[in-house]
């Protein structure tokens, strides 16, 4: 579920941090930049693991800060295919069953991917699996707080970095379009439930960030 990823970035250290140890300042800046961000084709960054190498620092004309090329390892959430994870049911709606992994909650089991036959109880606001037994159908409620296992079957990364519109596009853009762009998830996991409830769609709402090349 969590992996160590080797990364390289150039970190800017402001003059008022010069009295601190360089490693401490750089570690703080890296966590500010990357923690809880999705890096394209890498995964959801959690925290800095260690700094493996610091190259020479430079101060450029007109900028009193130092710029240091840093080699480091970062803890990243990036489950491998066929990995089995466990979450908890957070709630139900017409859109499906909502599941949480604890550190992000945008996990949805679409209705068509639930174990069939399934129905949505409008009164209780809960999905129900009508499980067939020798004595007839038995309703199994997908209640809030129940554990659920699922298996990773696919993943999708979307580059959600902001792009500057042309002048003509800017004049015709609408609020609805902007809302749609903001809600687009940069990292999506397609998973299959391991025991009962069918396929799930797992998304992370965290904004996308790219390291400089």
Extents of the domains making up the chain: 2-77, 84-209
The pair of structure tokens assigned to 205 is 């709402």
Most confidently modeled range among 34-38, 176-180, 190-194 = 34-38
What are the pLDDT digits (tens) for 22-78? 999 999 999 999 999 999 999 999 999 999 999 999 999 988 899 999 999 999 999
Mean pLDDT of all residues in 108-115: 78
Mean pLDDT of the chain: 80
**Domain 84-209, architecture per CATH:** Beta Barrel (2.40)
CA distance linking residue 111 with residue 188, whole number of Å: 18
Parallel/antiparallel/unpaired status of strands 38-39 and 208-209: parallel
Domains 2-77 and 84-209 share a fold: no
Please give the residue that has the higher pLDDT: either 35 or 139.
Answer: 35
Interior/surface letters 12-27, b for 16+ CB within 10 angstroms, e for the rest? ebeeebeeeebeebbb
Question: Which CATH code is given to the segment(s) 2-77?
Answer: 3.30.1490.120
d(CA 20, CA 26): 10
Query: Mean pLDDT across the stretch 94-107?
Result: 80
Residue 51's pLDDT is what? 96
Q: What is the mean predicted confidence (pLDDT) over 164-183? A: 54
- Tell me the torsion sign for CA atoms 42, 47, 49, 51: positive
Tokens of 57: 């620092």
User: Residue 193: what pLDDT?
Assistant: 59
Query: Are 127 and 135 spatial neighbours (Cβ–Cβ below 8 Å)?
Result: no
138 phi and psi, to 5 degrees? Answer: -125, 120
Q: How many residues does the chain have?
A: 213
């Amino acid at each position: 579920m969590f992996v160590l990823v080797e990364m390289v970035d150039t970190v800017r250290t402001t003059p008022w941090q010069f009295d601190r140890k360089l490693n401490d300042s750089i570690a703080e800046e890296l966590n500010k930049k990357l923690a809880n961000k999705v890096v394209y084709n890498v995964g959801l960054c959690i925290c800095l693991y260690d700094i493996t190498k610091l190259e020479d620092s430079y101060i450029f004309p007109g900028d009193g800060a130092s710029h240091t090329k840093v080699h480091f390892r970062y803890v990243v959430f990036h489950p491998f295919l066929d990995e089995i994870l466990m979450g908890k049911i957070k709630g139900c709606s017409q859109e499906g069953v909502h599941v949480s992994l604890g550190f992000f909650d945008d996990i949805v089991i679409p209705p068509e991917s639930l174990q069939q036959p399934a129905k949505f109880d409008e009164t209780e606001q809960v999905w129900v699996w009508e499980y067939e037994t020798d004595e007839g159908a038995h309703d199994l409620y997908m209640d809030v707080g129940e554990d659920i296992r699922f298996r990773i079957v696919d993943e999708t990364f979307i580059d959600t970095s902001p792009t500057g519109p042309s002048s003509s596009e800017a004049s015709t853009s609408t609020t609805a379009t902007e809302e749609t762009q903001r809600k687009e998830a940069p990292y999506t996991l397609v998973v299959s439930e391991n025991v009962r409830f069918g396929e799930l769609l797992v998304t992370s709402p965290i904004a996308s960030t790219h390291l400089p090349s």
